Amino acid sequence: MAVGGAQSVLKGTGRGALPPMLEQYVALRDEHADFLLLFQVGDFYETFGEDAERCARLLGLALTHKSSKDFSTPMAGIPVRALDQHVERLLAQGVRVAVADQVEEPGAGLVDRKVTQLLTPGTVTEERHLTADENFLAAVATGDGYALALLDVSTGEFRCAAFHTRTALYDELARHRAREVLLAPELSGNAALLADFQARFPVMLSPANFEEAAARTELSTVLGDVPGTLGTPALLRACGAVLGYARVTQQGHLEMVRRVVRFEPGAHMRLPDAAVRALEVFQAQSPQGLTLMDVLGGTRTAGGRRRLRAWLRAPLLDELSIRARLDAVEGLTRTPDLRGGVRALLYRAHDLERLAARVATGRATPREVAALARTLDLLPEAVALLSGQDGLLGAVRARLGGLPDVVTQIRAALVDDPPLRLGDGDLIREGFHAQLDALRAESLGHRAWMADLETRERQRTGIGSLKVGFNNVFGYYLEVTGPHLGKVPADYRQIATLKDRARFTRPDLREREREIARLDAAAARLETEVFTELRASLGAHAEALLEAAGALADLDVLGALAELAAERGWVRPQTASAHARLTQARHPVVEHASAAPFVPNDAHLDDTRHALLLTGPNMAGKSTYLRTVALCALLHQIGSFLPADHAELPVYDAIHTRIGASDDLAGGRSTFMVEMNELAAILHGATRRSLVILDEVGRGTSTLDGLAIAQAALEHLHTTGAHTLFATHYFELTRLENDLPGLVNLHVAAEEDERQGLTFYHQVIPGAARQSYGVEVARLAGLPAPVVARAGKLLTALNTQGDDRKLVRELAALDLGRLTPMQALELLHAWQRELREGAELPA
């Protein structure tokens, strides 16, 4: 974004010629050069100059012009009441927004304006701008490798990690779906690197401060000290940068940030972004498709949903932790009452984590504090439900029970159903604050006097139709209709004359009215004060609130996994040392989504058979089989039951996948290039403890190239000992079974029938497939009959060429010294027959 200044923002206009309001605009805009400034002018937020052009383009607004005698600038505005929806659209497009409001009542001169909100995609905290999922702001710095800091200001979650490679960093950033990424100057200053980052992430070029000294100040201000765990300068700088940036946008409020957690990327299973996408964990590859998250996501709270996403992003490596989660899921699966009770309770919970963060930063509205109380009310119930539980559920109970009684405090102060905004009054409960009660009682006295006034005046004047009314212009008034005007007493003063009636006031009426207004304003001020105090005292418990929120989120995820397991008859996986054995496994998403019955399959991998080569026609179910195994491994390591009759799985250090042909259009890489990049990463990264899923490797290039690459890759993986599932249409590869001891051929059953064509059984069985059925699948897909027939002929001819190559190989391998003339003649005869049959030549 161009740096501000009248010359660039309002081009073609000299600063001297600007009207005072635009002077003010330019000054505010220059102060927030990295933001799109929305400038309140009455009922509209306006933008001017270049910003107007940009805003009109981004929001599809009409561009107008603000002109005077010697001056003109483009202008685009949005109505004040439509601010939220437009801001949302700007944020979604990666634009930072500054909102400048009129902060005094318009009078004769220039109205004072101030920037009241700074909104950026990665730092918004208002519920209306947020989805229920996490909302991370990220910063990246380099030093010895890469350092990443992640901050979710809506919950206070603050994490950082160091990475050796850029690929690993990219994976982590993608997994956290950072909405805004800040780059240290050493990265943003390198054009190639910057472009690479920008092609993948919403990078914000901004003057975030990445200096080490500034980072130390920032960390000690926010956290109280500089945690020693951060270690490297790069980590410090990344953490300092996110905090500094967030502090500006939060206008100083970072109270919800309590600690920074340094996580070890190696402490969790490696799940590269390619695998997350290929396995459709969070995002389906087709618009209407379901994801694993959709199937698992029976969580009842927003916090639970975020926690489940976090578990899926970082599957466990530690066997004991996996077992602890599985124990808890099993406990809940086995006791429907407990599960039902927990889930019914969670149904009533609000987003405790975000409420806690908003209380901590002093932003919570009265209604949010009431929601907090309602949610906290549930905790003793939850503790009671979980009594007698040990393990993870016992730990959850302990974490839920550690909160002092703040509910009573809130309940005593706040009415049950407080208004949305502070300043609207009527939010503090009667009897809580003596002075407030007194003010209210006094105001009520005056109102009662007003209410009785009509009766009293009717009696006094004898005008039966006399009325007391109220409007915003005159306040309270007495109204008398035409025929009775003669009876109006002397102390009435006429203030308005209508066609057939007149309105009057009286000095004492005015007096009472002013008194009511004064008392109400004083009460409202006092209410705000009392509420602010309450909120601040709740803020002191922020840490305990966040702890309880975390426990509730864990409980929600465990409950959702148990519910799913119970509902769908999933089994608890056993953790094995080095083998995988799945009996009657199903694909969790396909099984759920498709109307046709799902055909379960077995899978068995161990040291003697660690590479499974899967052949079979297209559409037979190869991909589905591969993904089933990978998804089962993933479910095991998040501590979930899984869809099979029996499951034993090792703890994999990584799941690598290379599936399908995806073009990286944005990155400008061809399908084949993407495929090879991903394959390279897998071949470099896979270990004996990895699970590798390769589907149709080599498809993106010519047949021979593809075959050669596929075979070489398979051979390499075979030497690593990784559990490898390799689906291919290259039948030539099936003969590798003879050369590679750990490789086993499997195929998916299909049957070709004269009348019915091809039938798929989706059943995986031992041995190599007989043929590819590609032409038959093409026919099923509706290719015109003549094209199918021609393809069949060509296939035969091509197969013949294959035979030719086979004959050549046989010839080359002959040991002529050991051949008798008779044997030679027999061989020649056999070859000739094969050739003639293959080419359909006459005998």
Residue whose structure tokens are 């701008």: 129
Which sign, positive or negative, has the C-alpha torsion 356, 359, 365, 370? positive
Residue whose structure tokens are 């591969």: 626
622: contact with ligand ADP by CB under 6 A: yes
747: contact with ligand ADP by CB under 6 A: no
Judging by DSSP bridges, how do beta strands 157-163 and 145-152 pair with one another? Answer: antiparallel
Nearest distance from C-beta of residue 728 to ligand ADP, angstroms: 10
Instruction: Show contacts with ligand ADP in window 167-196 (CB under 6 A).
Output: none
- Rg of the chain over Cα atoms, rounded to whole angstroms, equals 36
H-state helical runs in 252-318: 273-278, 292-296, 302-313
Q: Which is nearer to ligand ADP, 140 or 599 (CB)?
A: 599
CB 713 within 8 A of CB 746: no
**Total length of the chain:** 843
The secondary element (H helix, E strand) that includes residue 470 is strand 467-471
SS3 623: helix
Residue whose structure tokens are 């990665």: 122
Q: Which is nearer to ligand ADP, 286 or 702 (CB)?
A: 286
Q: Which is nearer to ligand ADP, 76 or 750 (CB)?
A: 750
621: contact with ligand ADP by CB under 6 A: yes
Nearest distance from C-beta of residue 759 to ligand ADP, angstroms: 12
Q: What is the dihedral angle through the alpha carbons of 557, 558, 563, 568, rounded to the nearest 10 degrees?
A: 100
Instruction: Show contacts with ligand ADP in window 587-616 (CB under 6 A).
Output: 590, 594, 596, 598-599, 616
How many residues bind ligand ADP (CB under 6 A)? The answer is: 14
CA angle 592, 593, 595 (to 5 degrees): 100
Diameter over CA atoms, the chain: 146
Please identify the residue of the shown chain whose CB is closest to the bound ligand ADP. Answer: 621
Nearest distance from C-beta of residue 359 to ligand ADP, angstroms: 48
SS3 146: strand
729: contact with ligand ADP by CB under 6 A: no
Q: Which is nearer to ligand ADP, 163 or 598 (CB)?
A: 598
Nearest distance from C-beta of residue 414 to ligand ADP, angstroms: 53
408: contact with ligand ADP by CB under 6 A: no
Instruction: Show contacts with ligand ADP in window 624-643 (CB under 6 A).
Output: 624
Nearest distance from C-beta of residue 780 to ligand ADP, angstroms: 12
Nearest distance from C-beta of residue 778 to ligand ADP, angstroms: 13
Q: Which is nearer to ligand ADP, 375 or 624 (CB)?
A: 624
What's at 594, amino acid-wise?
Answer: S
Q: Which is nearer to ligand ADP, 356 or 620 (CB)?
A: 620
Mask for 254-293, x = binds ligand ADP (CB under 6 A) = ----------------------------------------
- What's the CA gap between 151 and 249, in Å, rounded? 13
What's at 312, amino acid-wise?
Answer: L
- What's the CA gap between 287 and 267, in Å, rounded? 33
Instruction: Show contacts with ligand ADP in window 753-812 (CB under 6 A).
Output: 762
Beta bridge partners of 309: none
723: contact with ligand ADP by CB under 6 A: no
534-547 burial code (b ≥16 CB/10 A, e <16): bbeebbebbeebbb
> Euclidean distance between the first and final Cα of the chain, in Å?
79
Nearest distance from C-beta of residue 623 to ligand ADP, angstroms: 3
Q: Which is nearer to ligand ADP, 209 or 623 (CB)?
A: 623
Q: Which is nearer to ligand ADP, 203 or 727 (CB)?
A: 727
Q: Which is nearer to ligand ADP, 338 or 620 (CB)?
A: 620
620: contact with ligand ADP by CB under 6 A: yes
- What's the CA gap between 309 and 303, in Å, rounded? 10
Environment class of 507 (CB within 10 Å of its CB; exposed 0-12, middle 13-18, buried 19+): exposed
Nearest distance from C-beta of residue 690 to ligand ADP, angstroms: 22
Instruction: Show contacts with ligand ADP in window 555-594 (CB under 6 A).
Output: 590, 594
Please select the residue that binds ligand ADP; options are 73, 623, 637, 724, rule is CB under 6 A: 623
Nearest distance from C-beta of residue 641 to ligand ADP, angstroms: 19
What's at 231, amino acid-wise?
Answer: G
Q: Which is nearer to ligand ADP, 573 or 616 (CB)?
A: 616
- What's the CA gap between 443 and 523, in Å, rounded? 9
CB 200 within 8 A of CB 226: no
Nearest distance from C-beta of residue 54 to ligand ADP, angstroms: 45
Q: Which is nearer to ligand ADP, 288 or 577 (CB)?
A: 288
Q: Which is nearer to ligand ADP, 286 or 738 (CB)?
A: 286
619: contact with ligand ADP by CB under 6 A: yes
Which parts of this chain interact with ligand ADP (CB under 6 A)?
A: 590, 594, 596, 598-599, 616, 618-624, 762
